[in-house]
Amino acid sequence: MTPQPPLHVAVIGAGILGTSTAAHLARTGARVTLVTSGKPGDGASGRSIAWLNSSGARSTEYRYLRLIGIDRYRTWKEQHPESSSYLRFDGALKWGADDESFRDTFAYERAGGYDSVWVEPTRIAEFAPDVDADAVAAEGAIFNPGEGWVNLPDLIAALLAEAVASGVEVIEDAGDVRVDVRGDAVVGVVLGDGTALAADRVVLATGGQVPAQLAALGVTVPDATPAAFVVMTEPVEPRVRTVLNTPRVAVRPMPDGRLVLDADWAEKSIEFGADGSLTVPDASVQGLLEEGARVLAGNPRLTVQRVAAGLKPIPGDGEPVVGAVSAISGLYTLFTHSGATLGLILGELLAEEIVTGRPSPVLDAFRLDRFDADVELGEVGIGAWAPVTQQ
């Protein structure tokens, strides 16, 4: 009997979700082609706060998914000792604004067995010595010892190296890549230059562009994707270790001592050009720098090294969209916020589904089919791509 050739899967998108899926597929022996419009990690993964957590109130299914997502990072850390430079579990501290309380959040987390400690302002230095205790809410803060952060470009590079060593073909700078559909089934992908690549299965993992790309195929998915930006600072000494989520700024360390800053109020200030371009106001950048300095011990002067803006993928109901696109045979998608926390586990579970043909029960709550057929496609707002400027 002639042996069957290995399943050929084309993965569109080389952020954390696409790269993870490609690497996990290669482990099964599948033939994989990973295609990306630009460079690996140059989309949302390259501008993510990348806080690893299952913090706050969530659906039971989503909370569990995030917890096993963190579990996979702990396994990766043990199996890859070199990852200690870009993957850390030094805890996270969060507190509310003056007109809100985090007591209910703390009670919810503890009721579910989540590792949470209530910290009075006078004890902040015991848990997070890199935080200015005077900036913390008068009621106190929540410290989550088991939370951490990952620098996604480094993780993507490690996954890519593993994938390529396993035979994955990577096509960079492919331009506007689209899914090639004949009838109601995928037959491969078409690169920006018109080159057609045949494939048995296709995975669409292009972040905030997923809704528009599915819409072009006649498939709708509710979309709440906004434009967002982060500020990356010059290195700060002494090094910050704790992830901070505060009323006016989120702070995440980077491997080289730099910091990543973002905030909801800041992303709302982004200005849109008639051509779909994005402009990040100088005042918002400076505001983030000032807010970051205010919450750090010693109130160090922070200076901007880079500003990165673009789409922040968020499904309409806030929960992941994962798995087969039932209207088009052979097409799968990954569209979610919290791509950092879910990056390893979603790649693993989706790869298993594709190769075995058996849907994972863990992902049942996150299927595209959960949305009613008549739901309109949410507005992406700035299109599939937009140049970014800083005023």
What's residue 258's pLDDT? Answer: 98
CA distance linking residue 136 with residue 133, whole number of Å: 5
Q: How far is CA 16 from CA 114, 155, 298, 341, in A?
A: 26, 8, 35, 10
What's residue 2's pLDDT? Answer: 57
What's residue 276's pLDDT? Answer: 83
- pLDDT tens for each residue of 135-155: 999 999 999 999 999 999 999
Count Cβ atoms below 10 Å from residue 198 Cβ, excluding itself: 12
Query: At 378, is the pLDDT very low, low, confident or very high (cuts 50, 70, 90)?
Result: very low
Residue whose entry in the numeric block shows the structure tokens 């569209």: 335
Query: At 268, is the pLDDT very low, low, confident or very high (cuts 50, 70, 90)?
Result: very high
375 has pLDDT over 80: no
What's residue 388's pLDDT? Answer: 38
Helices (H), ranges, 28-173: 60-79, 103-111, 124-127, 152-165
What's residue 265's pLDDT? Answer: 97
Which one is the CATH code of 92-145+227-311: 3.90.1150.10, 3.40.50.300, 1.20.1250.20, 3.30.9.10? 3.30.9.10
Which residues, other chains included, contact 289 with Cβ-Cβ below 8 Å and sequence gap of 6+? 231, 233, 261, 302, 303, 304
What DSSP line would sit under 107-136, residue for residue?
Answer: HHHHHTT---EEE-GGGHHHH-TTB-GGGS
Q: How much is the mean pLDDT over the chain?
A: 93
CA distance linking residue 310 with residue 323, whole number of Å: 25
- Domains 8-47+153-224+316-390 and 92-145+227-311 alike in fold: no
What is the enclosing helix (H) or strand (E) of 291?
helix 282-295
The domains of the chain are located at 8-47+153-224+316-390, 92-145+227-311
Answer yes or no: are the C-beta atoms of 285 and 306 closer than 8 Å.
Answer: no
376 has pLDDT over 50: no
- pLDDT tens for each residue of 313-345: 999 999 999 999 999 999 999 999 999 999 999
Query: At 385, is the pLDDT very low, low, confident or very high (cuts 50, 70, 90)?
Result: very low
Which one is the CATH code of 8-47+153-224+316-390: 3.50.50.60, 3.40.630.70, 3.20.20.140, 3.40.50.720? 3.50.50.60
What is the enclosing helix (H) or strand (E) of 54?
none
389 has pLDDT over 90: no
Token pair of 274 as six digits: 């008639």
- pLDDT tens for each residue of 83-140: 999 999 999 999 999 999 999 999 999 999 999 999 999 999 999 999 999 999 999 9
